Amino acid sequence: GVPEVRWQPLVGPFVKVNFDASFLSHSRQSYSGIIVRNVESLVLEASIQMHSNVPNAFVAEVLAFFRVVCFDGRSRVHACYC
């Protein structure tokens, strides 16, 4: 089986960002989600977004990562376009 991995709080003035994506090949759509937590495990940001005209699963993951790069560290996600 797959081992369970539990969230661990960070030490220091950091945030932890998790992201993931799903890809629907028949419709060429993907969905990306991010969650940002502080050292006290409080959620600072959580969001999902749909993407259209996505050619493959790799691009879907890149789009999800790109959303993480757009996070400015103050509990906001900037509008970013690629």
The pLDDT of 64-77, averaged and rounded, is: 68
**Domain coordinates of the chain in residue numbers?**
16-69
Q: Which of 63, 57, 58 is nearest to 81 (CA)?
A: 63
Residue 79 in 3-state DSSP? coil
pLDDT tens-digit readout, 4-48: 988 776 677 777 888 999 999 999 999 999 998 888 888 988 989
Please tell me the predicted confidence (pLDDT) of residue 17: 83
For 22, the enclosing helix (H) or strand (E) is: strand 16-24
Nearest to 24 by CA among 66, 47, 48, 57: 57
Helices within 1-82 (DSSP H only) = 57-69
Beta-sheet pairing, 43-51 with 16-24? unpaired
